[in-house]
Amino acid sequence: MKVSTIALALAISAAAIPAFAANPAAAATSNVEAQQTHQWAPTQTAAPKSRAEVRQELAQATKSGELASLNKLYQGS
């Protein structure tokens, strides 16, 4: 009984493997939701910020209320 179950499982998996081995580029272009197939990469032109610049941005975000709204958004329910 176990041998026939194992043989059946192998036969089903052998039949299903070609479906998963399809060309991913062709599958992505046929999918309506997949408009872009490349990954996002950050631009390398941004220079590192100094501590003073980061502190200034933090002060501006706190003053404008942006930091409080983000904290409220990400605090959870």
3-state SS, one letter per residue, for 44-71? CCCCCCCHHHHHHHHHHHHHHCHHHHHH
Please report whether residue 56 resides in a domain.
yes
Please report whether residue 42 resides in a domain.
no
DSSP-based helix, strand, coil % in the chain, nearest 5: 65, 0, 35
Residue 35 binned pLDDT confidence (cut-offs 50, 70, 90): low
Stretch 68-77: mean pLDDT = 83
Domains of the chain: total? 1
pLDDT at 30 over 60: no
pTM over 0.85: no
Q: Which domain holds residue 23?
A: 2-36+50-74
Both tokens of 74, joined, read: 């990400």
Name the average pLDDT for the chain: 76
Q: Measuring CA to CA, which residue among 22, 25, 20 is closest to residue 38? A: 25
Please report whether residue 44 resides in a domain.
no
